[in-house]
Amino acid sequence: MKLFFKSTLFLFLLVFSTEKMMSQSATVLLKDNWRFSKEVKGDAFSVDYDASKWEKVTVPHDWAIYGPFDKKWDIQTGIIEQNGEKEATEKTGRTGALPHIGTGWYRNTFAVPEFKKGKKALLIFEGAMSEPQVYLNGKKIGNWGYGYSYFYIDITNDLLAGKENVLAVKLTNLPFSSRWYPGAGLYRNVSIVVKEEESFAQWGTFITTPETKGNNAVVDIKAEFHGANASMVTEIKDANNKIVATQKSTDSKEGKFHQTIEVAKPNLWSPETPYLYTAVTKLYAADGTLKEEQNIKFGIRYIKYEPNKGFSLNGKITKFKGVCLHHDLGPLGAAINKAALRRQLTILKDLGCNAIRSSHNMPSFEQLELADEMGFMFLAESFDEWAKPKVENGYNRFFEEYAEKDIVNLVRATRNHPSIVMWSSGNEVPDQWGAEGVKRARWLQDIFHREDPTRPVTVGMDQVKATMESGFGALLDIPGLNYRVHLYEEAYKTFPQGLILGSETASTVSSRGIYKFPVVQAKNKEYNDFQSSSYDLEACSWSNVPDDDFVLQDDKPWVIGEFVWTGFDYLGEPTPYDEKWPSRSSYFGISDLAGLPKDRFYLYRSRWNTKYKTLHILPHWNWKGREGEVTPVFVYTNYDSAELFVNGKSMGIQKKNNATPQNRYRLMWNDVKYEPGTVKVVAFDSNGKAAITKEIKTAGDPYKIVLEADRKTIKADGEDISFVTVSVVDKNGIPCPTAVNELQFKVTGAGTYRAACNGDATSLEMFHENHMKLFSGKLVVLVKAVEKAGAIQLEVTGKGLQTGKINLMSKR
């Protein structure tokens, strides 16, 4: 039965999670004992090959993030049609200016005591960049194309029981294969799952609740398995590990069990209350032997998409206050790290963000687990290209052979997450033109529907006029518009779905703490220092400033939300400076590459975060040489009016109004003249009473280093990270917003120095070296735990500055 209708869209109660195997199954994480090299001679896959001189690494690993930065890496000369370019130009930092091009080899020698005769084993790759070719004990056992895809190989017949095995993986990154920094290497986890021959199929369990009965949720479980005459018992546990429902099944059909279980008075999952249950599913052989047990965390929630009304979650109309995220983690590169992901999501929670779009690739398992746990809705995306290329060696080379397999793996591996509320089959694909593109869009959407008939599918469309004419946009479950705010009304009237998603919005550019004069709204504005102004009035030729999107989101109920490009700066695509050097990372982020909030963070926060009050003043007030010159003051606040004082003198009261989109969402004093001293803002509540006050002051010379950790206690697991913000203050403790001092970092005790980042898109300093210059008075140092508990100390020094120290702790 077709579950997708254009008139009444998508009403489901869904239950989702990740699968974690226990009992008769064992997961062996291949983290340690890896060797890596790009300088390989001979048959590196051979069992007898001597790799003892190769670099020792742990996986996840990104070989390119260690640099050096150089414009020679992957220089691309061409026309970026989706950006409206007409002539070919040289793009020097488009893929991050890091050495990701080339071939790398990984080798690991390991034993799996859990594997014995009569058992089966699967080798699972969660991400390998890219075109992995996999060898086990000298034999090629498999390969894949897409570097972002999860895949697995059945190694039952090739894994040696009770002996050492040799795994070799060859990865190849071609030039002209990406539009941003893709990373390089085994950048996500590699593991081996050992299970009984009679067992659940990998990624074969799908849980939803398609209906309710009174106050009860009906949990629907479909579980594929291998074997015959088996039975399945399911226990559903609440967040306190209390069993709230159970069922046993002995009848199966075509290798699949189907159970429906009622959960009384369920706690519903949402961004505000991300409540998770656990389903324990046990597979028994005919003789009663337990063959496998799955522990599946899940959430219960309703989603509904209605024409002219929008999206609702658990019966409440909800707008997507979302951001797009590339997969790199700044100074860590593409190598996945859960502490870094958790920090990102913590920052986004403070922003008031409730949704994430994985752009333009498949999300990591860790990111989805955290989204479930912390409460973020998720738009899981698959491809940036289909059959027609954007870059010469992009996904177009794999589309015909791999597209269906990649979607199947994406959906089956992740469909049990409550956070995922929508799929995306593509982003700004050139296939938006013509009949062939319409056929491909329908084909891909049908695959998603077949694998998961409970969620809608979108595409991020930038060629909106073309998709109106061809029928491309009309066939999608959810029409997604990338920018093109001037076409929202026409698209809404033309497309039959009765709603529009801002699948990619804004692309405003700014550099943290950098301000340019005169203050004017501009497109493609460039400066000699290759920075963009943090007055948040500069965008790209195809894009706009945030306020233009806010108007549509607030005034049009049929606009169901937005995903801002981007939540954080990312490596590569240094627009508008992608033809300049040095410039090697983006300016689009609401926060910079180090995760430090830009001014724009507070503009979004003032609208998105309804739980806490926002009052933010810009620019900083250190403008030696600008005395007497016009220096506009902007205030981002969720209050409607405020009064500005400069050195005690009132500059008047400003009130939000509808004169322009900027006047509607910002308070602006455009005629203020700079004089050093104190800027104070008093915001007023709806009754005209002073509600909150904030000051910024002119700082003196840098005097002292100040350190602040996001977490002072971390896990002694060799992976956890404390992110320490480093800044300098003057002798009176006032932050120095223009400081560029070079600092040195030293970590002692039960931790190591991992990296640093200052958020400067033009910096060529390497992240892993133990020194870096401040940018706009700040940077971030990453302190990584070792596998030994104990005290950790970070010491930061700089010439002429009072040393900063912070004590951390790692615990088991």
The answer on 336 and 294 residing in a single domain is no
Could you tell me if residue 90 is inside a domain? Answer: no
User: 5 pLDDT band (50/70/90 cuts)?
Assistant: very low
- Name the average pLDDT for the chain: 95
The answer on 583 and 530 residing in a single domain is yes
Is the model's pLDDT at 1 over the cut of 60? no
Closest by alpha carbon to 725, among 609, 596, 630, 558? 596
Cα angle at 352 between 350 and 356, to 5 degrees?
105
Give me the CATH number covering residue 506: 3.20.20.80
SS (H, E, C) 268-326: ECCCCCCCCEEEEEEEECCCCCEEEEEEEEECEEEEEEECCCEEEECCEECCEEEEEEC
The answer on 332 and 456 residing in a single domain is yes
The answer on 498 and 358 residing in a single domain is yes
Could you tell me if residue 84 is inside a domain? Answer: no
Residue finishing a domain among 141, 159, 188: 188
The answer on 170 and 47 residing in a single domain is yes
DSSP 8-state symbol, 8: S
The answer on 464 and 414 residing in a single domain is yes
The answer on 478 and 344 residing in a single domain is yes
User: 24 pLDDT band (50/70/90 cuts)?
Assistant: low
Residue finishing a domain among 579, 608, 637: 608
Q: What is the pLDDT of residue 16?
A: 42
Residue with tokens 């030994």: 788
Q: What is the pLDDT of residue 3?
A: 35
Residues designated as active site? 428, 504
The answer on 633 and 567 residing in a single domain is no
Q: Once rounded to an integer, what is the mean pLDDT over residues 8-32?
A: 60
Encode pLDDT of 492-530 as tens digits: 999 999 999 999 999 999 999 999 999 999 999 999 999
Q: Once rounded to an integer, what is the mean pLDDT over residues 334-356?
A: 98
The answer on 730 and 687 residing in a single domain is no
Could you tell me if residue 579 is inside a domain? Answer: yes
* Positive/negative CA dihedral, 393, 187, 726, 375: positive
- Residue 166 CA to residue 111 CA, distance in Å, equals 9
Backbone angles phi, psi at 160, to 5 degrees: -85, 125
User: 4 pLDDT band (50/70/90 cuts)?
Assistant: very low
- Who contacts 362 (Cβ-Cβ below 8 Å, separation ≥6)? 127, 148, 149, 150, 380, 381, 382, 406, 410, 414
- Residue 409 CA to residue 126 CA, distance in Å, equals 10
Q: Please state whether the predicted TM-score (pTM) of the whole model is above 0.75.
A: yes
- Residue 645 CA to residue 562 CA, distance in Å, equals 35
Cα angle at 492 between 568 and 575, to 5 degrees?
30
Encode pLDDT of 617-640 as tens digits: 999 999 999 999 999 999 999 999
3-state secondary structure of 548: helix
Is the model's pLDDT at 764 over the cut of 60? yes
Could you tell me if residue 95 is inside a domain? Answer: no
Could you tell me if residue 328 is inside a domain? Answer: yes
- Residue 532 CA to residue 545 CA, distance in Å, equals 13
User: 88 pLDDT band (50/70/90 cuts)?
Assistant: confident
- Who contacts 50 (Cβ-Cβ below 8 Å, separation ≥6)? none
**How far is residue 515 from each of residues 433, 443, 511, 537, 788, measured CA to CA in Å?**
40, 48, 8, 11, 45
Could you tell me if residue 351 is inside a domain? Answer: yes
Is the model's pLDDT at 737 over the cut of 80? yes
- Residue 334 CA to residue 336 CA, distance in Å, equals 6
Cβ distance 234 to 261 under 8 Å? yes
User: 22 pLDDT band (50/70/90 cuts)?
Assistant: very low
Could you tell me if residue 75 is inside a domain? Answer: no
The answer on 731 and 749 residing in a single domain is yes
The answer on 432 and 543 residing in a single domain is yes
Residue finishing a domain among 679, 697, 715: 697
The answer on 440 and 517 residing in a single domain is yes
Q: What is the pLDDT of residue 15?
A: 43
Q: What is the pLDDT of residue 89?
A: 81
Give me the CATH number covering residue 679: 2.60.40.10
Tally the domains of the chain. Answer: 5
Q: What DSSP element (H or E) covers 91?
A: strand 89-91
For 511-665, list the strands marked E by DSSP: 522-523, 538-539, 559-565, 615-618, 633-637, 641-646, 649-655
Q: Residue 534 is part of which domain span?
A: 319-608
Encode pLDDT of 378-417 as tens digits: 999 999 999 999 999 999 999 999 999 999 999 999 999 9
Give the rounded percent of residues in the chain with a pLDDT score beyond 70.
97
Could you tell me if residue 759 is inside a domain? Answer: yes
- Residue 655 CA to residue 645 CA, distance in Å, equals 15
Encode pLDDT of 347-369 as tens digits: 999 999 999 999 999 999 999 99
Encode pLDDT of 646-660 as tens digits: 999 999 999 999 999
Q: What is the pLDDT of residue 85?
A: 72
Residue with tokens 């209708």: 5
Alpha helices in 352-475 (DSSP H): 365-374, 399-414, 434-451, 464-470, 472-475
Mean pLDDT lowest among 79-93, 123-137, 169-183, 386-400: 79-93
Q: What is the pLDDT of residue 12?
A: 45
